Structure 1
Amino acid sequence: MTMIDPFTMSLLLIAALSICGLSIGIAMICGSTVYLALKGFDASIAAETLLQGLFNSYTLLAIPLFILAADIMNVGSLADRLLRFCEALVGRFRGGLGHVNVVSSVIFSGMSGSAVADAVGMGRIIINMMTKGGKYTASYAAAITAATATVGPIIPPSIPMVLYALVSDQSVGYLFAAGMAPGLLMAALMALTNVIVARRRNFQVDEKVPLAEIPRITGQAFPALMLPVILLGGIYSGVVTPTEAAAVAAFYALVISFLVYRSVSFRQFYTTLLNSSRSTASVGILIAGALTLNYVIARENVPNSLADFMAQFELSKWGFLIAMNLLILALGCILEGGAILLIVVPIFIPTAQALGVDLLHFGVVVVVNAMIGLVTPPYGLLLFIVANITGQPMARIVRDLVPFLVALFASLALITFFPNFVLFLPRLFGYQG
């Protein structure tokens, strides 16, 4: 009887534990440890690899800080003031609250870096606004909220971009710059989709905010609106690193919520710290599992073997990017985006380099793919979140989501085949790729 080799055994164990409901991060640690034991290596290598990966990556500190900043903004009144500002700005058009949804996601994305934070925080509020008085169906409000939340991790700051920087050794600052134009493109196409759907379904025009009120509303939102300006201005002026900028964002959100808006109590802040700690621990376990599994993958020489295998097909770089799009979109239906970026993407980076694919462009393509996976059935984490908020059947939400998926796929195609569109901003800041 032929015994299964240790690498295959570890992969089967990871799959089995994940199917049984165990956290994929813990499953990867278990599978990697079993591999080391079967190969006769010291099991402490897993712990050593994990600790070295965590302690040697200063960039990873940005993740808990961005999570904390987003949670503080959600518990305070920053989200409410930003939504009121967006409503005054674009709420006067047909399907206006749909436009508010898009614009608020763009603005909030400059603060949180997380699609989930966007959907849970701003999403809950905007869904209530859209469904109040029967202006929009709950399923449509849920669909557009899930779709627009995908913009959050593309426009800087971005937690997925930080994860990609970890595995690709690329500059976080350049990755943030590379995500700006694609994120705005995605938002513009979704706004256009909302216009088309609003006209076809004859959504009513929302009550216009008097022009005389706009300066007052803008003034109330101004401290919150300054956060992305301070954040990105600090990074690209060279005053702070992206990690230090994350700390500035968390501190600024805290000061604004406590001293300016006075909307957060000490009890709420304590609860926010607990929630942020849980979210950070969840991400940390995923990163730890990926680091140990990546060590196993490196020991098995999987990236080079895969590069040699793909070389047989003589793919051009465009053929490779199309294949990667299809692969990650398929994986996005069943895997969480962070897992894809930490486990799957590193395997293909040597192949991308060999084919002359710019790794900054590649990073934006895979992050956009992973975010689209958040709204792709059957897994679609954002779909579960908005379904829980609205109580709508998943099938009804997916039906209303289809036009926005078309817009997202169109954005992905443009981002994939026009790399200069992605790279022109990083090049303005000195990127040589």
Structure 2
Amino acid sequence: MNLTSPFSLALWTIVGLSLLGVPVGQAMIGGSILYLYLKGMDMGTVAEQLLNGTYSSFLLLAIPLFILAATIMSSGSVMDRLMRFCNALVGHFPGGLAQVNVLQSLVFASMSGSALADAAGSGKLMQVMMTRDNRYTAGFAAALTAASSVIGPILPPSIPMVLYALVSGTSIGYLFLAGVLPGLLLGGVQMGLVHYLAKKRRFPVEPRVPLRELPRITREAFAALMLPVVLLGCLYTGVTTPTEAAGLAAGYALLISVLLYRSIGWRDLYDALLSSARVSISIGMLIAGALVFNYVITVENIPASLSGVLATFDLSPLGFLLLVNLILLALGCFLEGSTIILVIIPVLLPTAAALGVDPVHFGVVAVLNIMMGLCTPPYGLLLFMMTRIANISLMELVREMVPFLVVMVGALALVTLWPDMVLFLPRLAGYSG
């Protein structure tokens, strides 16, 4: 590749601006503007691609609504009720609080759809609970929190799945269903590893909650636990579109928090709206930058060129998926997940389609890879977040992270090799793939 070509200079510009601290979305817009200028193309194309991409996709509205629902549910006493419910179910198992950490990620997955949001919210609380009285080391607690946070974006609702649906045109409803069994598998292998380590390291066990207390604890958490049921029920019965379902989820979260639990006031609601707006804007800028840069990639005919290169290797569908796993796991060590979905995945999709790889299966494999990259050294964002939360060194966290990465790679291999596990629930709902 010519290092002084317009496309190369655009890439250098994006990398340089990112290293200087410019947000990735703005860096991609800057690099794309430079490319159009050097090619002598109409500079107004940047605004055209940005506006056409953002205003023509009704699905994008689901992202801020899911974020708002998660923020509201994380306020007040909702999280405490759900944490008590999780502790009542698995706290008495070997490695009690560690098991609760994984289970709460499965439960909270129905609220945020974001690994970073899970780690910053309920994960921060779990870090404090696990390290209190030196019951667990800070490194193990942080590694477990980072690993379990990966589960959230695999289960519905999932912001990465929404982004994948945006770039691939795949049904978001089928993608949500396809992520259920892989998400449960990921939680299962993590809980199995915790059980093994608990026996080996003699982790403490929490007192068993009396059986007579279970109905009360379940009743207190029931309304919050019904959020995914309401969301998925309306979505798969055809009552709502994905975006309307996201709005319904946000409305339901507000309803139970204000009227039923009475856990948030006007100030809390204002803070939730402000926090949701900030997160949504950051994601929106990233999407805008990716839409403009994807136009540059299309002009350079990179997807077709890559398909031609891969065709020379005569890959089978399975061989292609294994290669994609290696590529995405490597990229996940350095790039933010949304950037990979919005920029790299569109380049790979034509080859996947040409080889007959099911787009729903490909989407789940891709998202699972990308989420694992968040806790993979050297630059996994979850690693950096948890070192700050736990106040430990990166080396200590990585050392405790290795066993979790091993079992998650095993789960990824199973998801890659067994498409029927991914497609079982979508097919029950009418998917023909």
The verdict on a shared fold, with TM-score over 0.5 as the criterion, is yes
CA shift at 1:393, angstroms?
A: 1.4
Instruction: Tell me the SS of whatever aligns to 2:74.
Output: helix
Structure 1: stretches of 5+ with no match in the other structure: none
1:278 Cα deviation from its structure 2 partner = 0.8
The answer to whether residue 419 in structure 2 is matched with residue 419 in structure 1 is: yes
Select between 53-62 and 203-212 the one with higher mean Cα deviation. Answer: 203-212
Give runs of aligned pairs for residues 364-379 of structure 1, distance below 5 A: 364-379=364-379
User: Which residue in 2 is equivalent to 1:310?
Assistant: 310
Q: Using the TM superposition, give the Cα deviation of residue 124 of structure 1 relative to its aligned residue in structure 2, in angstroms.
A: 1.3
**What stretches of structure 2 of length at least 5 have no aligned partner?**
none
Deviation digits for residues 127-162 of structure 1 (CA, Å, limit 9, x no counterpart): 222112221111111111110010000011100000
2:99–2:191 CA contact under 8 A, matched in 1? yes
Q: Distance in 1 between matches of 2:35 and 2:76?
A: 47
CA contact 2:167–2:342 (8 Å) conserved in 1: yes
Return the alpha-carbon distance in structure 2 between the equivalents of residues 367 and 42 of structure 1. Answer: 35
What displacement does 1:3 show?
Answer: 8.4
CA distance in 1, matches of 2:10, 2:267: 44
Counterpart in the other structure of 2:205: 205
Identity over aligned pairs, percent: 56
Q: Cα offset for 1:8?
A: 1.3
Report what 1:352 is aligned to.
352
- Asked if structure 2 preserves the Cα contact closer than 8 Å seen for 1:375 and 1:383, the reply is yes
Cα distance in 1 for partners of 2:183, 2:118 equals: 14
Over 3 Å counting, the alpha-carbon distance change for 1:3 and 1:222 in structure 2 is closer
CA distance in 2 between partners of 1:123 and 1:152 (Å): 12
CA–CA distance in 2 between the matches of 1:46 and 1:422?
38
Inter-CA distance 130–4: structure 2 relative to 1 (3 Å threshold): same
2:17 maps to 1:17: yes
CA distance in 2, matches of 1:92, 1:397: 26
Q: Give CA-to-partner distance per residue, 1:43-89, whole Å, 9 cap, x none.
A: 11111100000011111111001111111112221111101000001
Q: Match for residue 196 of structure 2?
A: 196
Counterpart for residue 31 of structure 1? 31
Whether contact under 8 Å (2:3, 2:9) holds in the other structure is no
2:390 aligned with 1:390: yes
Q: Determine whether 1:320 maps to 2:320.
A: yes
2:166 matches 1:155: no
Q: Which residue of 2 aligns with 1:335?
A: 335
How far residue 272 of structure 1 moved from its aligned partner, in angstroms, is: 1.4
Q: For 2:234 and 2:4, how far apart are their aligned partners in 1?
A: 53
2:76 equivalent to 1:81 = no
Tell me how far apart the structure 1 counterparts of residues 396 and 85 of structure 2 sit (CA, whole Å).
30
**1: CA distance, partners of 2:313 / 2:418:** 23
In 2, the alpha carbon distance for the partners of 1:388 and 1:402 equals 19
Give 1:207-286 correspondences, 5 Å limit: 207-286=207-286
The residue that corresponds to 2:164 in the other structure is 164
Moved more, 4-13 or 165-174: 4-13
How many angstroms apart in 2 are the aligned matches of 1:209 and 1:384? 35
- Structure 2 CA distance for aligned equivalents of residues 410 and 43 of structure 1: 47
Q: How far is the alpha carbon of 1:234 from its aligned partner?
A: 1.1
Aligned residue type for 2:155: I
Which residue number corresponds to residue 66 of structure 1?
Answer: 66
CA distance in structure 1 between the aligned counterparts of 2:409 and 2:3, rounded to whole angstroms: 43
Counterpart of 2:257, as a letter, is S
Matched, 1:51 2:33: no
Q: Tell me the residue number matched to 2:186.
A: 186
Is the deviation greater in 413-422 or in 380-389? 380-389
Could you report, residue by residue, the CA deviation over 1:270-289 in whole angstroms, capped at 9, with x for unpaired residues?
Answer: 11111111100100010000
**What amino acid maps onto 1:431 in structure 2?**
Y
- Name the counterpart of 2:99: 99
Residues 79, 121 of structure 1: 8 Å contact kept: no
Distance apart, 1:337 and its partner CA: 0.3
What CA distance in whole angstroms lies between the structure 2 residues aligned with 1:81 and 1:125? 13
SS at match of 2:285: helix
Compare 241-250 and 335-344 and name the one that shifted more.
241-250
- Tell me the distance in 1 between the aligned counterparts of 2:430 and 2:358: 15
Distance 2:130 2:267 in 1: 30
- The letter for the 2-side match of 1:358 is D
Deviations 1:166-193 (A, max 9, x none): 1001000000011011000000000000
What's the C-alpha RMSD, in Å, of the aligned pairs?
A: 1.1
* Paired position in structure 1 for 2:291: 291
Letter in 1 for 2:125: I
Farther-moved stretch of structure 1 (231-240 vs 363-372): 231-240
In the TM superposition, what is the alpha-carbon distance from 1:103 to its structure 2 partner? 1.0
Give the match's secondary structure for 1:110.
coil
Distance across 1 between alignment mates of 2:131 and 2:81: 19
SS at match of 2:202: coil
**Separation in structure 2 between the aligned mates of residue 98 and residue 234 of structure 1, nearest angstrom:** 33
TM-superposed CA distance for 1:379, in Å, is 1.3
What are the superposed Cα offsets for residues 109-134 of structure 1, whole Å, 9 maximum, x if unpaired? 01221111111111111222211222
The amino acid across from 1:111 in the alignment is M
What's the counterpart of residue 402 of structure 2? 402
Contact 1:148 1:187 survives alignment (8 Å)? yes
Deviations 1:175-233 (A, max 9, x none): 00110110000000000000011111001211221111111111111111111111111
Q: Which residue of 2 aligns with 1:5?
A: 5
Taking structure 2 as the reference length, the TM-score comes to 0.98
TM-score, normalization by structure 1 = 0.98
Deviations, residues 222-269 of structure 1 (Å, cap 9, x unaligned): 111111111111111111111111111111111111111111121121
Letter in 2 for 1:100: V
Counterpart residue number, 1:118: 118
Distance of 2:424 and 2:161 partners within structure 1: 18
On the 8 A contact 1:72/1:269 being kept in 2, the answer is yes
Kindly indicate whether the alpha-carbon contact (under 8 Å) linking 1:135 and 1:204 is maintained by their aligned counterparts in 2: yes
Is this contact kept in 1: 2:97–2:205, CA < 8 A?
A: no
